[in-house]
Structure 1
């Protein structure tokens, strides 16, 4: 749908992931399951940490609680609207709704990046300086780190959203994506977007390189400490844990960099595939990788289940 330059856009049309009704119905079932398990996993993790004094007072699980909250919100920003679009002919989203969706998506995405970096540092301290763990990560420091993550998310989301909607949309109101994202929206802008793209590129690079750098350095120190372990069993367990963490982090950052570190003019059909991974798959995997593979979490979960049966 093409529109004239003097027309004010009051809504956008999201093309989604597929056009065929049969494929849309199949995708509805698949993504509904993903969304349900994402909510169950993350809300369950939050509940477990909040109701278990030991987990709640441990820095690692304090961070994990906020990561689970972020993942649940991150997924909810996109999933409900996308699920409705699969079973409805109405693919519209209001201009205000699009702005709100982009802002919320970027906010929780930025918070997730910093929480992943904080959790990597937490693991580094726990493995490399276990005797100083409580000293280096007291409650006040943990609260400050998480609060800073939310503050940076708030500020960067405002910058990204401002740059994305900082010019008129006079070519089309059809977004070739399944949610309001930066690249597809910038492609619809009819004003000079060079400066806005450069600002977004700079901040994405700053956030991505700083947080991924902390993660990479932390895990290099962890792996160095693991290699010095004498027990083969302990070394194997630590390697498996590090590998699973790095797998999810690489998936999140790899697809995110692919999406946002390229000009809007080069975006193509692969963007939707990449977006599915960093918006929908990662929030599903995080509670599995970070919690259900953890012995303390499994023991706390078993105790919680037993207490429920005894009631």
Structure 2
């Protein structure tokens, strides 16, 4: 199975302020806020929805092609992707822009001040979709460029290519009509429970209406697992306990990678979600979305400790 992942590629630049923001912000002067925080260093990590999913898939022994856009500073990330066997021919470089970047400053109370520069993500990836073989491919549309999130589902649907629609944090940027069209005919719609409510509000659709438009609705519930819903039934999927929860960021992308791995193995959607749950637990045990790693033997043992034999 050829896996195509539409979504973002980004640098996460993380800074720590060795104090509390509240000690330096005057509540009665908030209307003329002018502050400067001296941080004690900066850590740069690779991220973005497409990058995170592709990275986890590489750990699971699956190759994928990223459909995205990056800027003039992408070199180190490009090398990393290729080292993991991830195809980069679907990535468009916008020379006058920087790669999307999230700038995160965290204080000693775990409060955060974030700034996000979309950079190259403002532009569509312009991949030649005719290169995709409908007989062997599956697409996943994760949060990224809005044009791609509207155009790629349409192409997949018109050419009989199964796809997973994963609108995530871009739901507010999509109109109700755009969401409705992208959902209609998707093999899988994957959202968390809050995102499902946002889609219902934006589109005017009920949960039953949504389930009628897709083959499967997967609703992730964090530490409570996930639920797979079809027009006929609903299946609850458990979790794989984490040894230590350090950072939940990236767990959703890891779950999606495990889901894709299961589908590539010929598993049912419910069975594939169990691989997703296993992959997600590795992500939460490390700070950063691509800092964890595992062997297939370790992954299988951990899966089987909860769900039984992986055949």
For the criterion TM > 0.5, the same-fold answer is: no
Larger Rg: 1
Instruction: Decide which structure has greater strand share.
Output: 2
What TM-score do the two structures reach when normalised by structure 2?
0.28
Instruction: Decide which structure has greater helix share.
Output: 1
